[in-house]
Amino acid sequence: MPSVARRSHQPTANGNDKSSNANRNRRQNIAQQKKSLPIASVEKRLIEEVRKNDILIIVGETGSGKTTQIPQFLFDAGFCREGKVVGITQPRRVAAVTVAKRVADECGVDLGQKVGYSVRFDDSTSNSTRIKYMTDGLLLREALLDPYLSKYSVIIVDEAHERTVHTDVLMGLLKNVQLARSNSTSDGRHLNNGDKNVNGFMSLDKDNGQNGNFLKKDHRDKSSPLKLIIMSASLDARTFSEYFGGAKAVHIQGRQFPVDIFYTRHAETDYLDAALITIFQVHLGEAPGDILVFLTGQEEIEAVERLINERLTKIPEGSRKLLVVPIFAALPSEQQMRAFAPAPSEFRKVILATNIAETSVTIPGIKYVIDPGLVKARSYDPGKGMESLIVVPTSKSQALQRSGRAGREGPGKCFRLYPENEFEKLEDSTMPEIKRCNLSNVILQLKALGVDDILGFDFIEKPSRAAIIKSLEQLFLLGALTDDCQLSDPVGRQMARLPLDPVYSKALILASQFNCLEEMLITVAMLSVESIFYTPRDKYEEARTATKCFGSPEGDHITLINVYRAANDLLEKRTMEMNKMKSEKVLRKWCKENFINSRSLRHARDIHRQIKGHAEQMGLSLASCGDDMLQFRRCLVASFFLNAAVKQPDGTYRALASGQVVQIHPSSVLFRKKPECIIFNELIQTNNKYVRNLTRVDYLWLTELAPQFYAMQN
């Protein structure tokens, strides 16, 4: 097996002949790649196992072909007859999108036909889609509309080892759906289960069957049993097998070449700088082969991208053949695919990725891995009811997965940017997310699915009682639950229908009453993306001046609205004269001049379009408060009252709900102004606790607009 043979089958031709040749070559190449995957030799056996077992656990090395091949095997074996669909869930949207594109390519079909994907805010599927990649969260939402998931013949829960909160909940749910579907075939007893729904729990309110959350006695087609496949990259199948009553587990032999591991001598104070130095050391000193760097998020990836490109201009021209490709969730999907395309010949590719590249997607050509050993993770303190994002060390198993990426196609090297003795101190594996996140989103969905007894739900690993109770309490305070913990109508039901965090859903519902839904839609869209502004280190002052014109003395929310509207105005003014391509270009240029992240803005505009659609469907009144931002700020208080903080004599803030001491993040427009009372949307923990995205509010509004919380407190 050649080590990292550079493929140079980029279609360079301009003539038809040449391009059809290139196409044929490409097809052959793909066919060959498919055949050489470890999984190709066990197709028959796998299909047999699926036929024999209603639940099957498949464990296999990352890159062995599980995600891309197994759905195709199932299709070929007839599991999609009579319009049935094979569904594959992924914890991450990037994986769902890129894998679907790859598989469509392998099948030689257009994306959205036989093969498609569906993720929040982006759906490529059609009636003819038979192999459907989606996020685990999306399948949970589908269950709200079709509790039997009746169109699926097989559901594959992929990347189960990641143990995201959605994966965990989904497994519990699928267990019940499977039972319901098998019961209904054998004797139909389940059909006559009175008011019980699929999940075997009593229905919410008997008069309200039209939501589709209940087992309807005349329910269409649930006649065929559902096959479940749980796939995981980690060797430990026991947890899953036990959870599914001793389900059969099969292992797929992977192919792994040796990877040399290097550590730093000392701890690094600036891991981004260390990563940068290592990238150039590899680029200038090592044999050909692409580099994969693990970073913690979009902001970091974009900073490193700029630094690499800057540094490239300072080295001899002959050595500049380094192509930087980022890959992270918020990247527009056609840009995500760039990570998979081979670099032009002679070029070395350096991929800057979040932990998406750990196991979810396999990028060919990697020979070097650079691993600072960090990951951004959710963390939740049920006592304080606060969720935050923190950068934490990876677990040992994550570090091993990362280094494994270097040995897929030949021997490789992995540079861990920390000393060897630090590795020994790492946790063996990552704690399931369900134990470290706010559960209100999941609980709201379970309630909407008719699962009443959250504490009694069959979780693969139970979240703490304290966390469940705190989240129930929050949902109650938001008006989603009634006194006796039932989903409220209409507010709770409306909230469950919106594909947003419960607080954001509530904000939209309230905004229609405060006549500022237009402003709130923009706000929620802008808050759903990372970093609208960017401030390069060397152009700090320039960036500050450029963004000042958007700044609102009231705070960041209105500042974000100003940015959004300025971009809209720009496009509206020119749409007459421009086609779509041109308008994209104009927007990019404008963003660059104004130090605005065009990728983020584009993503926000996309999200805005989608949630506006949801709001319209729900019949919310789409009013704008115009320039009367008082209404809007009051609406912020009514919605985000759990995130209020007041200034203390020393200039720090005390978050009222949690009692935590926090500071205003330097990126906020209110960083220097320090108003008496604020509402914030995000808490970040580094050495200090910072709040981000905040607005100045009147302290008295709290008791006026959120008496359910503050009247009690006083």
Binding residues for ligand ADP (CB under 6 A)? 37, 60, 62-69, 98-99, 102, 340, 362, 364
Nearer Cβ to ligand ADP (33/264): 33
Distance CA 55, CA 168 (A): 16
* CB nearer ligand ADP, residue 30 or residue 426: 30
Residue 167 touches Mg ion, criterion: CB under 5 A: no
DSSP tag of 555: B
By rule CB under 5 A, what count of residues binds Mg ion? 2
| 3-state helix, strand and coil shares in percent for the chain, rounded to the nearest 5 | 45, 20, 35
- Which residue lies nearer to ligand ADP by CB, 237 or 449? 237
Indicate the residue among 233 and 702 with the shorter CB distance to ligand ADP. Answer: 233
Residue 320: C-alpha distances to residues 316, 340, 385 (Å): 7, 21, 50
**Nearer of residues 337 and 392 to ligand ADP, judged by Cβ:** 337
Stretch of residues binding Mg ion (CB under 5 A), selected from 58-66, 451-459, 652-660, 667-675? 58-66
- Min dist CB 246 to ligand ADP, Å, is 24
Shortest separation between residue 53's beta carbon and ligand ADP, angstroms = 20
Q: Which does 63 bind (CB under 5 to 8 A by kind): ligand ADP, Mg ion, none?
A: ligand ADP
The span of 67-75, 143-151, 502-510, 580-588 binding Mg ion (CB under 5 A) equals 67-75
Note whether 67 binds Mg ion by CB under 5 A: yes
Q: How many helices (H) and strands (E) does the chain have?
A: 25, 21
Least spacing, CB of residue 249 vs ligand ADP, in Å: 15
**CB contact at 8 A, 467 and 382:** yes
Residues from 353 through 382 that contact Mg ion (CB under 5 A): none
b (16+ CB within 10 A) / e for 139-160 = bbbbbbebbbbbebbbbbbbbb
Task: Report whether 174 contacts 225 (CB < 8 A).
Answer: no
3-state secondary structure 297-358: CHHHHHHHHHHHHHHHCCCCHHHCCEEEEEECCCCCHHHHHHHCCCCCCCCEEEEEECCHHH
CB of 86 to Mg ion, least distance (A): 15
- Residue 102 binding result from ligand ADP, Mg ion, none, given CB thresholds of 5 to 8 Å by partner type: ligand ADP
C-alpha dist (Å) from residue 62 to 167, 207, 400: 18, 49, 11
Q: What's the 3-state SS for 628-643? A: CHHHHHHHHHHHHHHH
Question: Token pair of 148, please?
Answer: 């039997």
Q: Would you say 67 or 336 has its CB closer to Mg ion?
A: 67
Q: Which is nearer to ligand ADP, 64 or 559 (CB)?
A: 64
CB of 226 to ligand ADP, least distance (A): 22
Q: Pick between residue 67 and residue 600 the one whose CB is nearest to ligand ADP.
A: 67
Q: How far is the CB of 96 from ligand ADP (least distance, A)?
A: 12
547 binds Mg ion (CB under 5 A): no
Half-sphere exposure of 522 (CA within 13 A, CB side): 22
**Cβ at position 614, least distance to ligand ADP in Å:** 30
Name the amino acid, one letter, at 393: P
In the complex, minimum distance from the CB of residue 364 to ligand ADP, in angstroms, rounded to a whole number: 4
User: Which residues in this chain contact Mg ion in the complex, by CB under 5 A?
Assistant: 66-67
